[in-house]
Amino acid sequence: MSQLYDLKVKIEEKISSSGLDAKDVKGKLGLRSGTLLSLINPNTPDNPETIAKLKQAAKEVLNVML
């Protein structure tokens, strides 16, 4: 698995445990990062820029450091 996919799984776990509307949160993450979580799979190659953007978006939307 890729680091990007691992990050996606962590973000989805945080969304589940937050009690927030998943579609709303994923939409906000997608807009801020330019990446749709639904398109990330275990075979998606790592991209340091995408990983950094997703981490920043998670910090802004979910208030978590990953």
Q: What pTM did the predictor assign?
A: 0.92
**15-62 tens-digit pLDDT:** 999 999 999 999 999 999 999 999 999 999 999 999 999 999 999 999
Distance CA 32, CA 19 (A): 20
Average pLDDT over residues 2-16: 96
Cβ-count burial of 15 within 10 angstroms (0-12 exposed, 13-18 middle, 19+ buried)?
A: buried
